[in-house]
Structure 1
Amino acid sequence: MTDVSVRISPTARVRIAHTADLDAAARKAARALLYDVFDDMTEDDWEHALGGLHALFHEDGELVGHASVVQRRLLHGGRALRCGYVEGVGVRADRRGRGLGAALMDALERVVRGGYDLGALGAADTAAAFYAARGWQLWRGRSWALTPTGIRRTPDEDGFLYVLPGAVPLDLDGDLTCDWRDGDVW
């Protein structure tokens, strides 16, 4: 694991690690944390958080926060864009309101800005203001998914998708299409 220079206290820090570098205990702790944080967490949701980089927040040796960024392809403006898609952002309930979510996002936003054309995420109503305050922009256009049977509208996602623009120009009122995956496609 590589340390990221984000420290909240002498015993609290964010670490970045690829899924391949997480041992079984670290994966188990991250999965348990996310199932504790989200009432509607599914196995597909957990799978979506794997295969990329994880920001892990340990306090006194215990995992209290997690977020990950995985690569996806989004179609926009006639181009396939390399997207750093943020998944599984969660902080244990008794540690919220202390800047831990911001520390996790600081680490992942550095990765997104340095390695992808844009960042994207689906935000719950309760988290939308948090992301907007960090510079994430609401996607105002229509959302779509490239499914095994063709491109399909995903109207239930409209109004919940946020992007972190990079060097590629984006039309926030245009169409945005995600690649296929099992479970929730966005």
Structure 2
Amino acid sequence: MSPRAAGPARMPGMVTVRTVHTADLGAGERQAARALLFEVFGPDDMTEQDWSHCLGGLHVLAWDGSELVGHAAVVQRRLLNGARVLRTGYLEGVVVRRDLQRHGIGGQLMDEAERIVRAAHELGALGASEAGVPFYLARGWRPWPGPTWALGPEGRQRTEEEDGGIYLLGGERELDTGADLVCDWREGDLW
């Protein structure tokens, strides 16, 4: 996918949304999704490790004809909260092509991603960019109010840089807001 020239936003045609597991992504679809994320986020905010975090779960793909214009991944993670281990649908790689943003495509992606979270997980979670916060808040996601941690090879590791940037969907009855929120370990960005 080549970068788009800056200019006026164009209206999308008939956008269709399809959900597919990583195992069922064709090579072209997989490459198109990776290229879209690198194009929109840029090399400073998108790495190969970030892309790898999108793999192994479900991809919600928005197509404008034969062109991929949006992507969101829902991968399963385990979050610890107090004495609870919560099966979490963690959102990764939520993106809409720049020239098609603010036309409802992100909402279509999230409708499907949130359906998956609610149907298959105890909790939804994501790490929000500053630009994405108003979008997620408007959809009912709420910021985690307490400290964040990761459970790694050396035990619990504090992730202060993520405090205030982790957003949750559902799980109100399961969560103890007085306890820590701890994610499972992975390479790269832990949250």
Band of TM-score, shorter chain: over 0.9
Q: In structure 2, what residue type is equivalent to 1:56?
A: L
Match for 1:46 among 31, 39, 51? 51
How far did 1:42 drift?
A: 0.2
Pairwise CA RMSD of aligned residues?
Answer: 1.5
Match for 2:163 among 158, 161, 166? 158
Match for 1:145 among 145, 150, 174? 150
So what's the TM-score if we normalise by structure 1?
A: 0.92
Partner of 1:111: 116
Report how many residues are paired. 179
More strand as a share of residues: 1
Q: In structure 2, what residue type is equivalent to 1:92?
A: R
**Identical aligned residues as a percent:** 57
For residues 69 and 147 of structure 1, what CA distance do their matches in structure 2 show? 22
Match for 1:11 among 10, 14, 17? 14
For residues 61 and 173 of structure 1, what CA distance do their matches in structure 2 show? 48
Contact 2:60 2:73 in 1 (8 A): yes
Q: Cα deviation per residue 1:100-149 (whole Å; 9 max; x = unaligned)?
A: 00100000000000000100000011101110110101001000000111
User: Which consecutive unaligned segments of at least 5 residues does structure 2 have?
Assistant: 1-10
So what's the TM-score if we normalise by structure 2?
A: 0.90
Q: In structure 2, what residue type is equivalent to 1:37?
A: V
Partner of 2:3: none
Structure 1 stretches of 4+ with a deviation exceeding 2 A read 8-11, 166-169, 171-174
* 2:18 counterpart SS class: strand
Contact 2:147 2:180 in 1 (8 A): yes
Contact 2:15 2:105 in 1 (8 A): no
Contact 2:22 2:59 in 1 (8 A): yes
For residues 121 and 151 of structure 2, what CA distance do their matches in structure 1 show? 20
Pairing 1:26–2:29 present: yes
